Amino acid sequence: MVADGPPAQLTRVAAEVDTRLRQLFDDELARWKELDPRLAEAIEELALVVNSGGKRLRAAFVYWAWRGRVDYPDGPHAEAADTLDTHRSHPHVVDVGAAFELLQAFALVHDDIMDDSATRRGRPTVHVAQAARLTAEGWKGEPRRFGEGVAILVGDLSHAYADSLMAEANPAARRIWDDLRIELSLGQYLDLRSAASGQMDWETARRVSTFKSALYTIVRPLQLGASLASPADPALLAALEAYGRPLGRAFQLKDDLLGVLGNESQVGKPVGDDLREGKPTELAAIAFERGRGDQQSILAGIGRRDLDASQVEAIVDVFRTTGAVDEIEARIGDLVIEAVAAIDPLPFCEQAKEALASLADYVAARNS
């Protein structure tokens, strides 16, 4: 299945969030330029990262979980609404969506340093761009060290702005926000450690996927969005997880496929980098489990930074011939079916349920 493009339930939310992010950057650039133009450079770099792309998927899950509760007949407000303008009855829902995008920017900037990635979304990564700047300006110091230092600070700045947009969230939503930030950091640590130690087993891959995709991308945004409407009870949180966990896993499995089979211009980073970094994925775990003889020798190249295009192609061929690609595609389909089946019992308005179904289809069909 090939995606025709993101659904309206995603693009409409994305437009609102983008407007909020532009306002934030405009205000902050004016504020800091007045004090010292050099201070604004870090904000300009962050704005380039945030505005260079991104699906705003987390923001959409926040919005539709909030909307589902607000417009539910027995919900906390029980008010009908046909347009996205409903968000004005809760002034923080778009701020929270924007906070997720800033948290994602923080994670990507730091992830690019850890992975030594040269490009992101069609442009040089922050640490690479800043290293080149030091050389071009004739400044003192070691370019790589300067570039990585600036990138760490830009990522930290993004995290700080994300936190500031959560300032008005109620205590229940704030607890979820705190948990997801801890989970994200621990998931990244496990990802980094597993790649370094060569642990490519299925259980490790799934655990990394749970922290970095299932929880962070879908479950926690849903739970936080519902909690913005009113503190969600344990039963509702569990019901949202029944939808979010399988869909989050499908999201990560799709990412794994795109990382080796996708189009670089659409994926936003060089295809094959996941193999060079030795990322633990279920795709690789299946191939290792099924591979024989020469196939195992080819797979042993995963994690080598010097893999060339032909070696990447050979590994991908093993993924195909062992049936790993077909298996992952089948799992994605099954997981989406499981997620969609969990929508109907949710105490949400019908419009929100339709949006969650459309978002589930998009997660499985997207090409970037």
Q: What is the pLDDT of residues 105-158, one digit of tens each?
A: 999 999 999 988 888 888 999 999 999 999 999 999 999 999 999 999 999 999
Average pLDDT over the chain, rounded to an integer: 90
CA torsion 73→74→79→84, rounded to 10°? Answer: -80
Tally the domains of the chain: 1
Q: Out of 43-47, 199-203, 235-239, 354-358, pick the least confident.
A: 199-203
Percent of the chain with pLDDT over 70: 92
Host domain of residue 288: 8-365
Is residue 334 included in any domain, yes or no?
yes
**Widest distance between CA atoms in the chain:** 65
pLDDT at 208: 86
pLDDT at 4: 64
> 358: domain CATH number?
1.10.600.10
| Average pLDDT of the segment spanning 81-86 | 45
Percent of the chain with pLDDT over 90: 70
Is residue 3 included in any domain, yes or no?
no
Is residue 1 included in any domain, yes or no?
no
For residue 368, the SS3 value is coil
- Rounded CA Rg of the chain: 21
pLDDT tens digits for range 282-329: 999 999 999 999 999 999 999 888 899 899 999 999 999 999 999 999
Instruction: Give, as one character, the DSSP assignment of residue 211.
Output: I
Is residue 329 included in any domain, yes or no?
yes
Find the length of the chain.
Answer: 368
Q: Please give the helix or strand (H or E) that residue 120 lies within, else none.
A: strand 119-120
Is residue 2 included in any domain, yes or no?
no
Q: How far is CA 204 from the centre of its chain?
A: 19
pLDDT at 200 over 60: yes
pLDDT at 76 over 70: no
